[in-house]
Homo-oligomer: A and B are copies of this chain.
Amino acid sequence: MKPIAFVTDYGNDDEFAGVCRWVIELIAPGAKVIDLTHGIPPGDVRRGAFALAAAVPYGPEAIALGVVDPGVGTTRRPIAAAAGTGHLLVGPDNGLLSLALDELGGASAVVDLTESSFRLDPVSATFHGRDIFAPVAAHLARGATLADAGEPIDPLSLARLAEPRVVIHDDHVAAHVAYFDRFGNVLLDMLARQVPDGLRTLGTRLVVEAGADGREAVAASTFGDAVEGGMVVYENAIGRLAIAVNRGSARDALQIEVDDQVLIRAA
Asked if A19 meets B54 with Cβ closer than 8 Å, knowing A37-B14, A60-B29, A127-B237, the reply is yes
A13 contacts B by Cβ under 8 Å: yes
On chain A, the number of residues with a Cβ less than 8 Å from chain B's Cβ atoms is 63
B7 touching A18, Cβ below 8 Å: yes
- Chain A 51-74, CB within 8 Å of chain B: the 1/0 string? 100110011101000000011111
A236 touching B37, Cβ below 8 Å: no
A12 touching B36, Cβ below 8 Å: no
CB distance from A45 to the nearest CB of B (A): 12
The A interface, classified by DSSP as helix, strand, loop or mixed, is: loop
For window 1-52 of A, CB contacts with B under 8 Å fall at 3, 5, 7, 9-19, 21-23, 25-26, 29-30, 32, 34-43, 51
Considering the chains assembled together, what is the distance between the CA atoms of A21 and B124 in angstroms?
A: 31
Considering the chains assembled together, what is the distance between the CA atoms of A235 and B16 in angstroms?
A: 16
Residues of B close to A55: CB separation below 8 A? 15, 18-19, 22
Asked if A22 meets B43 with Cβ closer than 8 Å, knowing A15-B51, A73-B221, A124-B237, the reply is no
Partner of A15, one of B21, B36, B120: B36
A247 contacts B by Cβ under 8 Å: yes
Residues of B close to A213: CB separation below 8 A? none
Residues of B close to A12: CB separation below 8 A? 12, 37-39
CB distance from A80 to the nearest CB of B (A): 19
Considering the chains assembled together, what is the distance between the CA atoms of A227 and B182 in angstroms?
A: 33
Residues of B close to A30: CB separation below 8 A? 32
Residues of B close to A13: CB separation below 8 A? 37, 39-41, 182
B39 touching A21, Cβ below 8 Å: no
B5 touching A18, Cβ below 8 Å: yes
Ordered by A's residue number, 16 sampled pairs between the chains whose C-beta atoms are within 8 Å are A5-B18, A11-B39, A12-B38, A12-B39, A14-B39, A15-B51, A19-B58, A21-B36, A70-B247, A73-B223, A73-B225, A74-B222, A124-B236, A125-B237, A126-B223, A130-B237
7 closest cross-chain pairs (CB), A and B: A13-B39, A73-B222, A18-B36, A127-B237, A22-B59, A11-B182, A74-B224
Residues in A lying within 8 Å of B, measured CB to CB: 3, 5, 7, 9-19, 21-23, 25-26, 29-30, 32, 34-43, 51, 54-55, 58-60, 62, 70-74, 120, 124-127, 130-131, 181-183, 221-225, 234, 236-237, 247
